Amino acid sequence: MLRDAAFGQYYPARSFVHSMDPRAKILLTILYLVAVFLASSYTAFAAVILFLGLAILFSGVKLKSVLKSVKPILFLIVFTTIINLFFVREGTVLFEWWIFRLTDATLHFTAKMALRLVLLVMGSSLLTLTTTPVALTDGLESLLKPLKLIRFPVHELALIMSIALRFIPILMDETDRIIRAQKARGADFESGNLFRRAKAMLPVLIPLLVSAFRRADELSDAMDSRCYWGAKGRTKFKQLRFSWRDLVGALVTLVFFGLIVWDMVAPFFPILVIPS
């Protein structure tokens, strides 16, 4: 069901990755995402998968929990795969019928695009699985602190992102509950064409929106009752500090990022290619 989705949820555990500073995890995750976009060969993708596997191993998070994050984007992966199969025309033709042409370049491009989407989502979900929303807020606020010089509302932006992440599993659970209630009343969400299924979702979207606005109103009242007025005059009970774990994680990530960059630029500089 929808509540099985992992993105936005926190997986409590005591591990190497859990103990890292949230600022380091955010920066290293950004570096990982850039590396995924730079990866262009299957060797580079193999290096990304190896790095992600090591990160999952040292995080103590079950692989099943990370794979659940891919479930919400399965439709997007299938859709982009179909589009790429029809519109990428370069390469040697393997199959051709009517207006459809399948080439070897099409298969390579489609496989790499699907891999890129899966790796992006899994890497991003690992950050939320190993970092609490409060720690993410503190880390983002600390990293964006230089923007305060131009009067940018850093604390408010970090708080908004933290609340959004916190509400993802809550709204998923609420959607699942509404769907179950509508099915008990005889609603059918599985039969019919695409337009009929979309129309059947209207009895779910309306109460979901009402519930979301009600929760937002209750949250604002709770913050007002606790005299919340933004970052002005606020102090922190837990101070963020870098440790040796962050140094080790940074070194490993930089080595991995360097391998991806080397794989990308090596074809343009023959002197960098290792002779076989």
pLDDT of residue 168: 77
Residue at 50 is within a domain:
yes
CA–CA separation, 51 and 156 (whole Å): 33
Q: Which of 199, 232, 28, 46 is nearest to 124 (CA)?
A: 28
In SS3 terms, the chain reads as CHHHCCCCCCCCCCCCCCCCCHHHHHHHHHHHHHHHHHCCCHHHHHHHHHHHHHHHHHHCCCHHHHHHHHHHHHHHHHHHHHHHHHHCCCCCEEEEECCEEEEHHHHHHHHHHHHHHHHHHHHHHHHHHHCCHHHHHHHHHHHCHHHHHHCCCHHHHHHHHHHHHHHHHHHHHHHHHHHHHHHHCCCCCCCCCHHHHHHHCHHHHHHHHHHHHHHHHHHHHHHHHCCCECECCCCCCCCCCCCHHHHHHHHHHHHHHHHHHHHHHHHHCHHHCCCC
User: Phi and psi of 229, rounded to 5°?
Assistant: -130, 35
Range of the domain at 66: 2-131+243-272
Contacting residues for 52 by C-beta, under 8 A, at least 6 apart: 32, 119, 122, 123, 126
CA–CA separation, 211 and 267 (whole Å): 55
**Residue labelled with tokens 């010089």:** 149
Between the alpha carbon of residue 67 and those of residues 2, 7, 70, the distances in Å are 14, 10, 6
User: Phi and psi of 97, rounded to 5°?
Assistant: -150, 125
Residue at 197 is within a domain:
no
Domain count, the chain: 1
Residue at 173 is within a domain:
no
Residue at 249 is within a domain:
yes
List the structure tokens of 136: 């993410």
Question: For the whole model, what pTM was predicted?
Answer: 0.77
- Contact status, residue 65 vs residue 169, Cβ threshold 8 Å: no
Residue at 196 is within a domain:
no
User: For each of the chain's 276 residues, which pLDDT tens digit applies?
Assistant: 445 555 557 888 888 999 999 999 999 999 999 999 998 888 889 999 999 999 999 998 888 888 888 887 888 888 887 777 777 667 676 666 666 677 777 788 888 888 999 999 999 889 988 988 888 888 888 888 888 888 888 888 888 887 887 787 788 888 888 888 888 877 777 776 667 777 777 788 888 888 888 988 988 888 888 887 776 666 677 778 888 999 999 999 999 998 888 887 776 655 555 544
pLDDT of residue 267: 67
Residue at 176 is within a domain:
no
CA–CA separation, 11 and 129 (whole Å): 5
CA–CA separation, 38 and 48 (whole Å): 11
Residue at 152 is within a domain:
no
